[in-house]
A and B are shown apart, each in its own frame.
Chain A
Amino acid sequence: QLQLQESGPGLVKPSETLSLTCTVSGGSISSSSYYWGWIRQPPGKGLEWIGSIYYSGSTYYNPSLKSRVTISVDTSKNQFSLKLSSVTAADTAVYYCARHAAITMIVVVIPTYFDYWGQGTLVTVSS
């Protein structure tokens, strides 16, 4: 059974960088059929896709966050990570990692939907 587990600090100071890691178990992050993504949910609000990464390192980011986001992958550890810089209180949210099913469009592999999610981790931005 595929499992994803987020880890990282639950409290980050304004202007600093939020860093989270997602550890995947029960499946290989190097599968050609999937991207691996991050989604966030501010308290009491809806879902916002942050970005996704392929095992090769290819990434797609939400343009609204692109200037501040870096997603990386470590296939040797079956992990992928999120860094969000210059955080403010508006970045306070539950952050989820998820498996992002991919399709091949001619020669490009693109992510479509999320099929398995981690339990989520609350990150609060506060001094």
Chain B
Amino acid sequence: EAQVTQNPRYLITVTGKKLTVTCSQNMNHEYMSWYRQDPGLGLRQIYYSMNVEVTDKGDVPEGYKVSRKEKRNFPLILESPSPNQTSLYFCASSLSPGAGAPGELFFGEGSRLTVL
């Protein structure tokens, strides 16, 4: 089954304790991206990757890191989480924008993070 898998789905942590949210897709997609969803603010892009070893900042990259060492994985790293990073996070993937595909995104089920 084609899917994007995120882990953990729920996490409560404390300020400053490094954490990683994993994301994996099995559709051989070149493009992957991270979003955060906050009430009243919609969906905001954090980082994206057009292919392996290629990453770029989205609209709200501060406080986050990503890496793309393999095509299927795109982890989101919070080196020193703060309460304003409490949010619902989504990973998404799609075929390469340059492949003629219209850029339809496939989303994971979300990871709800609470930073105390």
B and A form one assembly: no
Residues of A bordering B, CB below 8 Å? none
Residues of B bordering A, CB below 8 Å? none
